[in-house]
Structure 1
Amino acid sequence: MSSTFDVVVIGGGPVGENVADFATRSGLSTVIVEGELLGGECSYWACVPSKTLLRTGNAVAAVRRLPGTTVDFDPAAVLARRDYFTGNWNDEGQLGWARSAGIAVLRGHGRLAGEKTVVVDDAPAGPETLTARRAVVVCTGSVPIRPPVPGLDSVRTWSSRDATAAKEIPARLGVLGGGVVGTEIAQAFQRLGSQVTLVQRGPRLLPAAEPFAGERVVAALRSEGVDVRLSRPLDSVSPAGDAITMHVEGDSIIVDELLLATGRRPNSGSVGVETVGLEPGKPLAVDDTGLVEGVDGEWLYAAGDVTGRVLLTHQGKYQGRIVGGVIAARSIGEELDTRPWGEHVTTADHVAVPQVVFTDPEVAFVGRTESQARAAGLDIRVVDIPIAVSGAALHADGYDGEARLVVDETRRVVIGATFVGQDVAELIHSATIAIVGEVPMDRLWHAVPSFPTISEVWLRLLEAYRTPS
């Protein structure tokens, strides 16, 4: 392998893969340095396996909402299907893609060692030093936050990786944290046969979403037998033989495994950023082209979770595509298009970040919540309706969902949308397009939803908006 490339990418998750792909498409020689599996967290321990664990239970629940149906499932088959979609934690398929795309891959932990220099101490053939002609891009993702709970170091704990890669379903599972990971794993494992206890320090689940979203998910989890405890800190933990005791405000709850789902932080602690004047462990602050701030020379870029901007795979991949294009443009002296929504800026990071929580009901949201819009001083109107349309009624007996639009009244455009209900995930892209396109409300009136679909909720939202408040 050559030691000199146009672009050196540290981190081979989906973000790093996108950077490398878009740089290579433009004729730049590119290498990815990855110490684990090519494809990263999302492919093997996060998005893909977690959604696979959820999907069967969600599908069975959906069937049971139709009359005259009886259906069950085998948890072992769910785990086997999860293994298939993770390639049994083998990345040969991803390596084949990289080779076919003309991207070199070097196994090992990459770290910066000065300007345009990356050292890989544990490379297969011994320590290697890589030099970048054009750019180094840090795409090292994020790592779990371990909370300061007394006794935590005395017991066995699960990270999200342990949960999504579990070979057996524990009889009793404790979950600390009520964000996306906590709620999804809680429901998946309850349906797979665990008795789940979820402890959340704050007053609601999914605090990043509209309050009604968390309320509906709490109701669903409790209806299925999950013991959800809100506004309850985990005071301490202690061993209980082979099990674990969670001490929660005077109660002692014994579980077989304890999942820590208390958030993630940018993974910049061992990337060598101190060699270029940055502080390890801190997010790599970037401008909207992905250029790392505080480093001279327009050669160091970052994308994805390590920037601390948006900790979502799809948004990181979007940043990666932009960064790959920016490096290619600068390599040939092309002027960058940095206007809002231009070719070389990550404008969507600020106004249109979509997210789906794959619980049942699903939660899908994009843009600003009501509280965020009001905190920004915007003149808004909030439209709330139940998802009570013909398509939903046909979709499931007793369909119960809720939708919200947040409208900027000054510009008369949608700036936020939330949908909660069975199978609403596919609704969110239309809202994302409306926000990115800044489509006027009067023009949206002419976007006619097909009958009978759950998308009819858009018509009802627009009708409600046109009704004087």
Structure 2
Amino acid sequence: MSEVFDAVVVGAGPGGEVAVSRLAAGGLRTALVEKELIGGECGYYGCIPSKTLLRGPEAQAQAERVAGLSRPALDWPALRDYRDVMVRHHDDSRQVEEYRKNGVEVVKGSARFVGRDPWTLAVGDRVLAAEHVVLATGSQPVRPDIPGLDRVPVWTNREATSLREIPGRAALIGGGPVAVELGHFLARMGCEVTLLVRGERLLAREDPRLGEEAARLLSADGATVLTGRQARSARPSGSGGAVLELDDGRELTVDVVVLGTGRRPGTAGLGLEDVGVPVDVRGALPVDDRCRAAPGLWAVGDVTGRPAFTHLAKYHARVAADTILGKRRVRNDAVHPRVVFTEPEIAAVGMTPAEAERAGIDAAEATVDLAAALARPWTFDTEPHGRLSLLADRERRVLVGAWAVAPMAGEFIHYAVLAIRAAVPIDVLLDDIAQFPTYSEGFLNALEQLEL
């Protein structure tokens, strides 16, 4: 016999947690289904552990460039132990108990659709039925088709963010944010790092100058970045590591191969095809502007095929949950921040100049050397480096893109995020009063240089 709920949320990552909390607070009888840990990939194997691990080497490097300070020691066991605290030692029992105290039925196991009208899910020996089902099943890492890769030590983001010891040599396959951040961390921890990038530059989805900045930072850390290169095959080395044969004939011997080759929407095994719900060629579940895939069926985050960002999943969850609760929300996720947590940070939002040109926008761009224009970089750092760039639509006189490379760029990029999302007129932005001395002053400098 089915257990009946108003709403069932499948997947307890950040998107699922936002959805179930909002629905329960709205008075709905809710169930939360999770096959692993409450908190999901981000909380245990992604954003939280990676940013925790990056903070130690970041502070160490920054301290060297602060007047009156010397380079502090980095205690790897202490950093590792704090990482374990931040991921709750992979124990979600407290979270399960909190949800149950708040009236949410937590069901551990893999869900599969077995009916619709109402939507019905089998989870182990339990059957759950609900008018509304929210899918927040995330994504899984893509494993490249390299002969022999299954015979050598390989890490995905899970193993890389759970590491106990720093490897001596690592090959990172990929050139996106995950590969850049992990390469940055490992190199700063003393690992000999080589990045194999199939394309011609790092961060291929961003302005080419950001790829150049990422390559400069990695090179300064001692990492080697090989663009336009792929591993053709892999075989075990005599020391328990891996030998990669590259497509130019060279061989690369490492202790571990780290994958940063993208992610695939997590729809496999849900049985969507059995209830007449199609997915696209990538396995993503298309949704409308309310995050609805079918009447009563909703999807949020990575599973929709939108960029795999935690903040997008949480936004989608707010849209879907509010719509279920009868509030009018429309998904508008074209403009969102994108941050790479290097040191300094790399942040972007909106269009690149190439994208604006393809869209037929008559665009103006201004790029500012923050150290040359502002006081704050010099009060922050004795060897400051940073740039900020703005892209504007001349006809509409609004910003359509921005990027920055600077300390805390992931914080102050939100000035541009809001300006672009709300289409704030440039004349209004030019009348802003920025706190002195801050990096945010760079926006006014760049705005004044736009040739509109």
Q: Which residue of 2 aligns with 1:333?
A: none
1:229-285 deviations in Å (ceiling 9; x for gaps)? 111111211111311011222221111111111000101111110122234662100
Q: Which residue of 2 aligns with 1:358?
A: 341
Residue 374 (str. 1) matches residue 357 (str. 2):
yes
Distance in 1 (CA, whole Å) between partners of 2:307 and 2:174 is: 19
Distance in 2 (CA, whole Å) between partners of 1:442 and 1:400 is: 29
Cα shift at 1:2: 8.1
Q: Which residue of 2 aligns with 1:224?
A: 221
Cα shift at 1:193: 2.3
Q: Secondary structure at the match of 1:235?
A: strand
1:52-201 pair list within 5 angstroms:
52-70=52-70, 71-115=72-116, 116-122=118-124, 127-132=125-130, 134-201=131-198
1:109-158 deviations in Å (ceiling 9; x for gaps)? 11111213343443xxxx110010x2111110011111111221222211
Task: Give structure 2 stretches of 5+ with no counterpart.
Answer: none
Cα shift at 1:167: 1.3
- Whether the aligned pair in 2 keeps the contact of 1:391 and 1:455 (CA below 8 Å) is no
Give me the TM-score of the superposition, normalised by structure 1. Answer: 0.92
- Whether the aligned pair in 2 keeps the contact of 1:216 and 1:361 (CA below 8 Å) is no
Count of paired positions: 444
Distance in 1 (CA, whole Å) between partners of 2:395 and 2:269 is: 47
- Whether the aligned pair in 2 keeps the contact of 1:218 and 1:228 (CA below 8 Å) is yes
Give me the TM-score of the superposition, normalised by structure 2. Answer: 0.95
1:69 counterpart letter in structure 2: L
Q: Secondary structure at the match of 2:36?
A: coil
1:258 counterpart letter in structure 2: V
1:382-408 deviations in Å (ceiling 9; x for gaps)? 111111210111111121111111111
2:121 counterpart letter in structure 1: V
Q: Which residue of 1 aligns with 2:51?
A: 51
Q: Secondary structure at the match of 1:225?
A: coil
1:387-439 deviations in Å (ceiling 9; x for gaps)? 12101111111211111111111111111110112221111111111112211
1:371 counterpart letter in structure 2: A
**Overall identity of the aligned pairs, in %:** 39
After superposition, the CA RMSD in angstroms is: 1.6
Q: Secondary structure at the match of 2:360?
A: coil
1:114 counterpart letter in structure 2: G
Q: Secondary structure at the match of 1:454?
A: coil
1:304-315 pair list within 5 angstroms:
304-315=301-312
Cα shift at 1:62: 0.8
Cα shift at 1:17: 0.9
1:267-306 pair list within 5 angstroms:
267-279=266-278, 282-292=283-293, 295=294, 298-306=295-303
1:456 counterpart letter in structure 2: E
The equivalent position to 2:412 in structure 1, one of 427, 431, 435, is 427
Cα shift at 1:220: 1.2
1:286 counterpart letter in structure 2: V
- Whether the aligned pair in 1 keeps the contact of 2:2 and 2:126 (CA below 8 Å) is no
Task: Give structure 1 stretches of 5+ with no counterpart.
Answer: 330-335, 338-343
Q: Which residue of 1 aligns with 2:387?
A: 402
Distance in 2 (CA, whole Å) between partners of 1:255 and 1:314 is: 34
Q: Which residue of 2 aligns with 1:448?
A: 433
2:259 counterpart letter in structure 1: L
Q: Secondary structure at the match of 2:440?
A: helix
- Whether the aligned pair in 2 keeps the contact of 1:38 and 1:91 (CA below 8 Å) is yes
- Whether the aligned pair in 1 keeps the contact of 2:149 and 2:234 (CA below 8 Å) is yes
Residue 32 (str. 1) matches residue 29 (str. 2):
no
- Whether the aligned pair in 1 keeps the contact of 2:2 and 2:127 (CA below 8 Å) is no
Distance in 2 (CA, whole Å) between partners of 1:100 and 1:413 is: 48
2:199 counterpart letter in structure 1: G
Distance in 2 (CA, whole Å) between partners of 1:42 and 1:320 is: 15
